[in-house]
């Protein structure tokens, strides 16, 4: 396992990301990761807060039109995140904080799927107040994304930081 990670880390791509000094390499990939986060968590935060009762005049149903944008941002971050992981595979995979981040993201994605099917799936979503289950999902979503952001930022500080 370790030798595979070492091979990945030694690959031309990983070396380019880490050591080329190009603004398109580490800085550019991390920039895309940050834009992805801003779009993904930005829009989801709005939806969660709406479910929790803020901005009552905004109907929730139409916000489903943002889902393609949300999932595009998610996949941008999955790809850029994999690139960043490849550049620093050995230390990230040994860093428990990275595992915590992945756990939060898996839970956040499951929560997002559940919000889309259960809350948005209801054709009368805007006709009645949100159930406590819906609100629970919104809280869960906010907590998981907050956890993912926190664990992600701390990757630069805990374990064996390989980058910024």
Q: Which stretch binds another protein (CB under 8 A): 49-57, 85-93, 108-116, 130-138?
A: 49-57
Residues 131-160: x where in contact with another protein by CB under 8 A, - otherwise, as a string: --------------xx--xx--xx-xx---
The footprint of another protein on residues 65-94 (CB under 8 A) is: 65-66, 69
How many chain residues are in contact with another protein, going by CB under 8 A?
Answer: 36
**C-beta of 144: minimal distance to another protein in Å?**
13
In the set 4, 6, 27, 75, which binds another protein (CB under 8 A)?
27
Which residue, 115, 117, 121, 110, is CA-closest to 52? 115
54 binds another protein (CB under 8 A): yes
In sequence order, what are the residues at sequence separation of 6 or more whose Cβ sits closer than 8 angstroms to the Cβ of residue 156? Answer: 163, 164
124 binds another protein (CB under 8 A): no
43 binds another protein (CB under 8 A): yes
35 binds another protein (CB under 8 A): yes
**What residues make contact with another protein under the rule CB under 8 A?**
23, 26-27, 30-31, 34-35, 37-39, 41-43, 45-46, 49, 54-59, 62-63, 65-66, 69, 145-146, 149-150, 153-154, 156-157, 164
């Amino acid at each position: 396992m370790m030798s595979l990670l070492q091979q990945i880390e030694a690959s031309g791509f990983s070396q380019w990301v880490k050591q080329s000094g190009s603004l398109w390499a580490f800085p550019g990939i991390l920039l895309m990761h940050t834009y992805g986060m801003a779009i993904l968590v930005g829009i989801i935060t709005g939806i969660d807060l709406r479910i929790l009762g803020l901005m009552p005049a905004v109907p929730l149903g139409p916000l489903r039109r943002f889902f393609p944008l949300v999932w595009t941002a998610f996949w941008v971050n999955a790809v850029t995140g994999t690139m960043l992981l490849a550049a620093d595979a050995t230390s990230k995979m040994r860093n428990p904080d990275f595992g915590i981040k992945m756990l939060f993201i898996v839970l956040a994605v499951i929560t997002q799927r559940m919000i889309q099917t259960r809350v948005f799936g209801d054709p009368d979503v805007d006709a009645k107040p949100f159930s406590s289950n819906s609100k629970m999902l919104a809280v869960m979503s906010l907590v998981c994304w907050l956890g993912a952001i926190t664990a992600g930022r701390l990757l630069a500080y805990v374990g064996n930081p390989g980058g910024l």
